Amino acid sequence: MDEVNYSELLTQVYADDINRLSKYIPYFENKGGKDVASTYDGKLGESNLKFPVYDSTLLSFTNEASGTKLMDPNYMYKYRSAHIQTEKQEADAIIYSKPKDIDLLRAILSRYVLEGRYKGVRWIEGTERRVFLNVLKKFRDLLHDVTAYE
């Protein structure tokens, strides 16, 4: 069985996507969660249905991220295999990840981006808990670390 070269994987497969999404780091540094969405409940008294209206930059990020190689539709499998069940475990996985953990970082990002399509609160949580910010910064840092030694 071939050993995976995670440095090559980062630089040759994911680098363009990481660099493209890194432009959103300043946006997430300045956002706290609730300020990325407002609630629309229709015109005065016309509807009892409320739904979130997202900030245009957040929508741009999620749309752009959805089209990258960083998305993993099997993200829940990675969560289970890494035994991540709590927010703290998720945060620690991001903080302590190494190049070999790139698939776990992809899974965490994928969960928040993909689930946000049908769970309205997920994008807000990803911003509020700083998941988007921390994953993007970790991707950027890992990429920088492996390219610094080339």
CA distance 16 to 18: 6
Binned average pLDDT, 10 residues per bin, the chain of 150 residues = 74 96 96 66 58 85 97 96 96 96 97 92 92 98 85
Could you give phi then psi for residue 146, rounded to 5 degrees? -75, -30
CA distance 121 to 104: 22
- Identify the pLDDT of residue 1: 37
What 3 state SS string does 16-84 have? HHHHHHHCCHHHHHCCCCHHHEEEECCCCCCCCCCEEEECHHHHHHHHHHHCCCCCCCCHHHHHHHCCC
CA distance 14 to 54: 27
- Identify the pLDDT of residue 131: 97
pTM of the model: 0.88
CA distance 123 to 150: 36
- Identify the pLDDT of residue 44: 56
The kind and range of the H/E element at 113 are helix 102-115
- Give domain limits for the chain: 6-148
- Identify the pLDDT of residue 42: 59
